């Protein structure tokens, strides 16, 4: 029997991030964790644990990585393997907080639709911003998230703790995946996690931005399958 898998993604993103995995893994036991019903990272983490099997592999993307770190602090005995995609372990600095406040200001002024337009240049590398399929996925995920949910996600992210001090306690096989043209997380963010988690490994996806599962599924899906099944 294959290892159950729990998926958790981030702000302004939906299950569409995982569609290439779902298409490739029709027979796997997969749970997609709720990323829309809480306004704290702790709340997201506890909801995930409440709905997860006793043992599982956790694949976390973006804000989902913040949730994954909290899950590992709360109940590490449930996690068999951990994959972290396009995430970081530190708390927000002044620049990130200012950017997030700008998004909040847009929403509160009635311009929620502009948030995803502001994010497209940091989600995708320049050569992909004219790709109607990719940009359409980002816009549809934003529309499906809705303004009030996005604000709750922002509150959770802005209040998160610095996860770096306890990364060394993570004792399960850990895979990091980062798109080399990600405009939100950096190589330095991933190197920081890589160096702190014993035995972790990093795979860099050339040409991909912040959404490598939909930008380069032909690379990312086999990587994740090989990691989970190893």
Q: Could you tell me the CATH number of the domain that includes residue 50?
A: 3.40.50.1820
Q: Is residue 203 part of a domain?
A: yes
CA distances from 67 to 18, 145, 162, 207, 226 (A): 17, 18, 12, 27, 23
| Reported confidence tier of residue 7, pLDDT bands at 50, 70, 90 | very high
Say whether pLDDT at 1 is over 80. Answer: no
More confident residue, 52 or 96: 52
Residue 193 lies in a domain: yes
Q: What is the pLDDT of residue 199?
A: 97
**Is residue 126 in a domain?**
no
* Stretch 51-71: mean pLDDT: 98
Q: For residue 215, is it within any domain?
A: yes
pTM for this prediction: 0.97
pLDDT tens digits, one per residue of 129-169:
999 999 999 999 999 999 999 999 999 999 999 999 999 99
* Residue 114 falls inside a structural domain: no
Residue 44 covered by a domain: yes
To the nearest whole number, what is the mean pLDDT of the chain? Answer: 96
Cα–Cα separations (whole angstroms), residue 52 to 6, 34, 49: 7, 11, 5
Does residue 15 lie within any of the structural domains?
yes
Domain that holds residue 77: 5-92+154-229
Count of domains observed in the chain: 1
Is pLDDT above 70 for 105? yes
The answer to whether position 172 is within a domain reads yes
């Amino acid at each position: 029997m294959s290892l159950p898998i729990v998926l958790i993604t981030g702000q302004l993103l939906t299950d569409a991030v995982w569609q290439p995995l779902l298409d490739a893994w029709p027979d796997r036991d997969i749970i997609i964790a709720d990323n829309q019903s809480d306004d704290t990272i702790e709340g997201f983490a506890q909801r995930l644990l409440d709905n997860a099997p006793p043992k599982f592999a956790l694949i976390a993307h973006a804000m989902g990585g913040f949730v994954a770190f909290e899950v590992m602090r709360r109940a590490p005995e449930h996690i068999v393997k951990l994959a972290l995609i396009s995430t970081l372990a530190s708390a927000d600095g002044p620049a990130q907080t200012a950017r997030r406040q700008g998004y909040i200001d847009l929403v509160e002024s009635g311009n929620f639709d502009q948030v995803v337009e502001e994010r497209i240049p940091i989600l995708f590398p320049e050569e992909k911003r004219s790709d109607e399929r990719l940009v359409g996925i980002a816009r549809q995920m934003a529309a499906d998230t809705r303004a009030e949910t996005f604000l709750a996600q922002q509150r959770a992210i802005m209040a998160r703790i610095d996860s770096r001090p306890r990364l060394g306690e993570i004792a399960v096989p850990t895979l990091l995946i980062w798109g080399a043209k990600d405009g939100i997380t950096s190589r330095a963010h991933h190197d920081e996690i890589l160096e702190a988690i014993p035995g972790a490994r990093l795979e860099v996806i050339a040409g991909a931005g912040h959404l490598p599962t939909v930008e380069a599924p032909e690379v990312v899906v086999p990587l994740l399958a090989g990691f989970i099944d190893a």
